[in-house]
Structure 1
Amino acid sequence: MPKKTFRILLVDDDPDDRYLLQTAFEESATPCQLDYVEDGDEIFDYLDKHLQPDSNVEQLPDLILLDLNMPKKNGWQVLNELKQSPLFRHIPVIILTTSKSPEHVRKSYHLGASSFISKPSSFSNLVEVTKILGKYWIDVVTFV
């Protein structure tokens, strides 16, 4: 049986950050499908669409990369809603943000984040982070 495509959903309102992350995943040769939404409202539209039986879209994401600083709903509001939902709480959520605040880290884990990563300041470090994410979440962790 062929291995299914590993799907990552990036939730980030900054088009430059989305582009850099997509390029970093490509550069790191991480075998995944990277989708994105731009804000905390769009994520639930995306997830609901993927739950529809008549949808042409394959599946829910295997992993969500979530920025904290977004318009409409911030990352903590999104994380809280995801982890309260019986339909979505099983999806691992990694906070990927510019913050390094210990308060932000604690709050993210308290709300159910699987990991907290501060966005690297250089592209080469971002590529390294995507390699590590791919290695761990795709090659090591078991999913059904």
Structure 2
Amino acid sequence: MSAKPNRSIFLADDDADDCMLFEDALKEVSTTTELITANDGVELISLMENAVPPPPDVIFLDLNMPRKNGFECLEQIRSTKAWEAIPVVIFSTTGQEEMVRKVYAQGANFFIRKPGSFPKLKQAIKQVLDTDWTKQNWKPAAENFYYQY
């Protein structure tokens, strides 16, 4: 009998390989965290509308997706009362300062540039899972917002 997941993560990313890699890394970091994936922003919002409550413990959100990008999703998440306190980690290949500043201002909790190796991906996921999100609207200072592994 398998243990019931005690946490859940939503991952919105249109790159199937990145999703598989993320899932593999998560399994090695935590066996009690369930991963639910969406292939684009439209699918993520639909998932949110149908699955919340209970809300996921954290959302990993890619910025460059078709139909509805990460900026649009973040804006909708932060402006929806039932979702506004869900931690959102931007998880993107871009590390442009302008993009980082924009999502920080929009209310993202972290910006993690997609790591180039599996061990670094595991480290990034572990860091997010180890964060105490129970602090109301927890968000680091701007200088601690962007992580590049």
Alignment of 1:117 with 2:112, yes or no, is: yes
Shift in CA distance, 14/4, structure 1 to aligned 2, threshold 3 Å: closer
Picking from 128, 133, 143, the partner of 1:141 is 133
After the TM superposition, which parts of structure 1 deviate over 6 Å for at least 4 consecutive aligned residues?
A: none
- What is the Cα deviation at residue 127 of structure 1? 1.2
2:146 aligns with: none
Please give the residue correspondences for 1:3-14 in structure 2 after superposition, counting only pairs within 5 Å. Answer: 5-14=6-15
SS in 2 for 1:116: strand
Please give the residue correspondences for 1:45-56 in structure 2 after superposition, counting only pairs within 5 Å. Answer: 45-51=46-52
What are the ranges of 5 or more consecutive residues in structure 2 without an aligned counterpart? 136-149
1:28 aligns with: 29
Q: AA paired with 2:41? A: G
Deviates more, 1:4-13 or 1:71-80: 4-13
SS in 1 for 2:116: coil
1:55 aligns with: none
- What is the Cα deviation at residue 108 of structure 1? 0.6
**Identity %, equivalent residues:** 38
Alignment of 1:73 with 2:64, yes or no, is: no
Q: AA paired with 1:21? A: F
- What is the Cα deviation at residue 142 of structure 1? 2.5
Q: What RMSD over aligned residues (CA atoms) do the two structures have, in Å?
A: 2.0
Higher relative contact order structure (alpha carbons within 8 Å, sequence separation ≥ 6): 1
TM-score of the superposed pair, with normalisation by structure 2: 0.82
Alignment of 1:101 with 2:96, yes or no, is: yes
TM-score of the superposed pair, with normalisation by structure 1: 0.85
Structure 2 Cα separation of the partners of residues 10 and 97 of structure 1: 11
SS in 2 for 1:61: coil
Number of equivalenced pairs:
133
